[in-house]
Amino acid sequence: MKLLFMLLSVMAMLPLPGIANPAPFDPARLDYAVNFNGKQVDWQTFAFFVMPDQDYEIRVHVDETTTVDIDPGEGTLTGSTTRGGIWRAPTRQGLQVLRIQPDGHAPMILNVVVMVPAGQVKNGYLNGYRIGQYPAKPLRGNPIYLPPAGFVEITPEMVDLPVSPHFTLGQFLCKQQPDHWPKYLVLREALVAKLEIILSEVNERGIRTDGFHVMSGYRTPWYNQAIGNGRYSRHVWGGAADIFIDTNGNGRMDDLTGNGKSDLRDAKMLLGIIEEIYQTRKHQRLHGGLGLYGPRPHRGPFVHVDARGQEARWSIP
């Protein structure tokens, strides 16, 4: 019996056939940063959303002796130095892939999407996709609540486009008109950056996951009203995401606390990590709303995060 117990103990420490230990989390960050239109990123890939025929400054932060090659796609790069210039977006709407290659460094890929101007929305519709109406006046005069200048057009081929190393455009689509193409959305770069920062911190805390399940990202004003949400929800401006960790793919928050079930305590653990990030001076520019939501019969618990630029807290157990 003692020998059998020892044998079982040894077997328990051995990896199961066909099951590999998960690889370490890769934050996919580079050893230099790029400023695009005043927004600085250092990830291997990142997406920006621009208007046609507009100018955007690109600056690559590398040593003065390092030369940089920038492939502008169908846009034009003028007034360039060895480390940047002014990029003019093309008239054609859709994806432009900009490749930034500093000598001796890994390249950065910018997936720059030229948006459809909001002026093309007619009677609340854009090419048959229902947008609805944005409020005529911003909330308390805050410019982040002004109607968006344009919309990202998404075809089936665009769904898997990376907006950052661990998130794709399709994760933020509104849950309406599932069979209608093209679809449209608004997405703020600050939200994507915030999710990447949170994801990296979660992994540093020992919770191994390569991404979050985005339960709700962008909502058109029409859809947001249809589900009974407030008209000034940050989801309507592409600045909010309801997220949870789901490594086993069952559609619910993982058991982070180890109590054998998915409950409010798991969401509280995720929320606590995010709150601690907010307290660091390094990430003050990404402050925003943070909400805790308990489980319901049709879903598990989740955390709301947004990039409104000011503090807001709430809890709905």
E strand residue ranges, 180-249: 183-185, 213-216, 240-244
CA pair distance 126, 221, nearest whole angstrom: 13
Amino acid at 305: V
Given a contact cutoff of 8 angstroms between Cβ atoms, the answer to whether 218 and 184 are in contact is no
Indicate the pairing of strand 84-88 with strand 116-117: unpaired
Per-domain residue ranges of the chain: 27-114, 118-317
pLDDT at 79: 82
CA pair distance 86, 3, nearest whole angstrom: 73
Give the residue-averaged pLDDT of 192-205.
96
- pLDDT digit string, tens, across residues 68-86: 999 999 999 998 677 899 9
Q: At residue 190, does pLDDT exceed 60?
A: yes
- For the chain, what is the mean pLDDT? 91
pLDDT at 18: 41
Q: What pTM value is reported for the model? A: 0.91
**CATH of the domain spanning 27-114, picked from 2.40.110.10, 2.60.40.10, 1.10.510.10, 3.90.170.10:** 2.60.40.10
Given a contact cutoff of 8 angstroms between Cβ atoms, the answer to whether 55 and 117 are in contact is no
Backbone angles phi, psi at 292, to 5 degrees: -110, 130
